[in-house]
Structure 1
């Protein structure tokens, strides 16, 4: 195998694929990236057996062939090569090494046989539809923060993506929850989602897709079955297994009868929560909201470090209410509000609160209270 290509093209493709590779693995070949030179250029492929990323870089191929090299070491070498340099990758015979040359630099890396490299065969993916990159990014950005990291509840370790009918309209919905907060965002369902199964896209896959969306004006082809999903973003193809589990009936936790409405200026509210939570303990992060006729008093008491209070003017005309929340969760949700004003619908100190844009939005958030 002998290939010559621009350092920038190689670095860009390696940057996309090498992130999938786990730094610690018991299967040596999984630490490597597969390089396959052919008529279409240099194809790079990496996998952790649950997720696979493939990208083809434009290259001048003198001799076709394939091998695998340590992904992170290879990436670090290319990253440190001079800008604008031409990189030559060469493997002669069955030497078990790959030579990398650029200018006066020369590296030799140990290789493993490409025949040992696993391929995450997607099989038949009957559901196909396209989303604009900006729509896909929005679905992820608005829900990703609420994905659970608790491995025992593995079915919450991803985003639940499904199509459904709402008031006669077909919508595509993304939902994530960790049991303490819930994020739900929807958009008109694109053509091709009919008959789509509800699928749970794993947290790592979600993060990789988010990073791969580099051009918000582009489009993304999504293909899926009940067990796998494939995203095609330009030259990059990401294939992933889905979480094999049942996502809970999230509609049951979205409150419908919360009759106390609190309207706050988002920036002022976020600043106040952020300031008083400086005192809160790292473990509890509890902040108390005391509501009474146009006034909101935020307070934090920490027996180990002291207390803090701040008062802001709000739009609230219901009966007085004291309720506590995790300040970090409040700030995470507030960061997703697009407009200047947020609407909180409350019931009582022990019931979930609904949070959304005052101007109306396709995104809504549910936050469970804390005892304070």
Structure 2
């Protein structure tokens, strides 16, 4: 194998593929990136056995061939090469040379035949979303993905098309909060199976979206066990799906919360953030909201540090009520509200609270209260 490629092009591609590779691997080949010099350019692939990324970049190919080398080492080398350098990759025996200007490296390689590949099979459900739509879907929900490994079926975003709604819906929950967003159902998604997209796949897709124009099309194909994202350009991300049953989340979305608070989103978020300055331990993460006519009083009590309180003007005309929330969870939700004001629908101090921009917004959030 022998190929020459521009440093910036190679670096961008390596940034994508090395991100999939785990830092610690018991299987040595999984620490490597597969590099193939082909007639259509330089093709790089990385996998952790659950997630696979493939990307092809333009390069001058002098000799077709393939090898594997340490993904993180190669990324670090190319990152430190001078800008504008032409990078030559060539193999000889069980070594790969990396040459740019006066810099020369020789890396250990492993056989291409030992590299595991997730089969490129046809996936029955296929549809397209713009980068902006997929970004909105991910950002509205991913903060609520559970990190508790024992509840593995909550370790991702549940994407499905509810019967009769003509909507594509994404939901994530960790048991303390729930996030749900609906988009218009794209052509081809009707009748799709409900799938749980793993947290790591969501993170990698989100990174790749950042490099695209808002209207760039992203082709999505899925089955009951796999999902594939094909990005404009030559990057393709394939992931296994979480094999589990997502809980019936609709039961925790309140429909009869009769107390309505309308408050300036930024004022509420900044107020919560300020009073939370004294909340330094797990036990003091609760912020109390005392709602009364025309205002909401925020307060935090810390046995170690003291107390803090702040009044925020609000539109509230129901009976006075006090309710406590984990301030970090509340700030996460307020961070996703894009409007100037936020609607908070409450029932009592022990019931789930519904938060949304308005009654017609695409996204809604449910937050479980804390005792204060």
TM-score bracket, shorter-length normalisation: over 0.9
Q: Indicate yes or no: 2:346 matched with 1:346.
A: yes
Deviation at 1:122? 4.2
Contact persistence 1:301–1:307 (CA under 8 A): yes
Count how many residue pairs are aligned between Structure 1 and Structure 2: 368
3-state SS, counterpart of residue 311 of structure 2: strand
| 2:206 corresponds to | 210
For the residue of structure 2 that corresponds to 1:148, the secondary structure is: coil
Alignment partners' CA distance in 1, 2:358 and 2:3: 57
State the TM-score, normalized to the length of structure 1.
0.98
Structure 2 distance, partners of 1:185, 1:257, is 20
For the aligned residue pairs, the C-alpha RMSD in angstroms reads 0.9
Q: CA deviation at 1:169?
A: 4.0
- Aligned residue for 1:6? 6
Query: Residue 333 of structure 1: SS of its match in structure 2?
Result: helix
TM-score under structure 2 length normalisation: 0.98
User: Which residue, 138, 144, 155 being the options, matches 1:146?
Assistant: 144
Which residue in the other structure is 2:125 paired with? 127
Task: Classify the secondary structure of the residue corresponding to 1:29.
Answer: helix
* Runs of 4+ off more than 3 Å: none
CA distance in 2, matches of 1:14, 1:280: 41
Distance in 1 separating the partners of 2:286 and 2:208: 36
Q: How far did residue 195 of structure 1 move? A: 1.8
Give the Cα separation in 1 of the matches to 2:306 and 2:120. Answer: 56
Partners of 2:202 and 2:22 in 1: how far apart?
16
Q: Provide, for residues 163-222 of structure 1, a one-character-per-residue CA deviation record: whole Å limited to 9, x for no partner.
A: 124xx5400000000000000001100000122000000000000000011212201000
Aligned-partner Cα distance in 2 for 1:325–1:231: 37
- Give SS of 2:22's match: coil
2:277 is the alignment partner of 1:278: yes
- Structure-2 separation of matches of 1:103 and 1:14: 20
Task: Name the counterpart of 2:159.
Answer: 161
Question: How many Å separate the matches in 1 of 2:360 and 2:123?
Answer: 35
* Kept after mapping to 2: 8 A contact 1:122/1:228: no
**Match of residue 368 from structure 2:** 368
Kindly report which structure 2 residues correspond to 1:157-196, keeping only aligned pairs within 5 A, or say none.
157-165=155-163, 169-196=165-192
The 1:170/1:359 distance shift into structure 2, 3 A limit, reads closer
Residue by residue over 1:40-76, the C-alpha shift from the partner in whole angstroms, topping out at 9 and shown as x without a partner, is 1100000000000000010110000000000000000
Rounded to whole Å, the distance in 1 between the matches of 2:240 and 2:300 is 43
User: Mapping of 1:212-361 within 5 angstroms?
Assistant: 212-213=208-209, 214-215=211-212, 216-234=214-232, 235-284=234-283, 285-358=285-358, 360-361=360-361
Query: Post-superposition shift, 1:294?
Result: 1.1
Per the alignment, residue 199 of structure 1 pairs with: 195
3-state DSSP of counterpart to 1:314: strand
